[in-house]
Amino acid sequence: MEEGKMEEGMMMHNCTCMPMDMGGSMHMTFYAGVDFTILFDSWKVETAWQLALSCLGVFIMAALYEVLKTYRERYARLSRSRSFAPVSLSGTQVHHTMKVVRVSRCDAAVETTLQAVSFTVAYLLMLIVMTYNVYIFVSMILGDALGYYLTLHLRPSSSSSGGEHCH
């Protein structure tokens, strides 16, 4: 088929795109360019200036996600460390002391809110990266790396916690 030829009311292009019913297309492979939409119809990227601002926004959002995640984990550790209540269990031969965590309703509400916000931001970032734009993808990786670097001193040492990664 020739490029630009009309077929069933749609313009055909030489790209790895999935045609959409609303007149746009969605890239299915990584590409470097403009003329795409991020999340909402109102967030269109049609110029290099809009791409630069979008990359900056995604960079900041990814960095803030990492900061939010770190503070959520830190808050959870602190709230649990101040809410331990020792409980003694005595048997005929063995004496054990367990620490039972009793989280206050206020701490539980704060942790739940932080988790919900963190979860929402994580999924928004996942949907943003599904634009398959190389510049957006790199901005997200660099923003996450900066956020991780800025909060590294707030994280427990790897020997004291299992972390989320295998080493």
Alpha-carbon gap, residue 127 to 129, rounded angstroms: 6
Supply the pTM of this predicted model: 0.70
Paired sense of beta strands 84-90 and 25-27, if any = unpaired
- pLDDT tens digits for 19-49? 555 555 677 889 998 999 999 999 999 999 9
The pLDDT of residue 159 is 46
The pLDDT of residue 124 is 97
- pLDDT tens digits for 74-126? 998 888 776 655 555 555 555 555 566 677 889 889 999 999 999 999 999 99
- pLDDT band at 148; cut points 50, 70, 90: very high
Residue type (1 letter), 70: T
The answer to whether the beta carbons of residues 121 and 64 sit under 8 Å apart is yes
The pair of structure tokens assigned to 14 is 């030489």
Cα 33 to its chain centre, rounded Å, is 23
Torsion of CA 103, 82, 86, 105, to 10 degrees: -10
The answer to whether the beta carbons of residues 83 and 104 sit under 8 Å apart is yes
Alpha-carbon gap, residue 60 to 73, rounded angstroms: 20
Burial tier of 146 (Cβ tally within 10 Å: 0-12, 13-18, 19+): middle
The pLDDT of residue 53 is 98
- pLDDT band at 17; cut points 50, 70, 90: low
Q: What is the mean pLDDT of residues 135-161?
A: 88
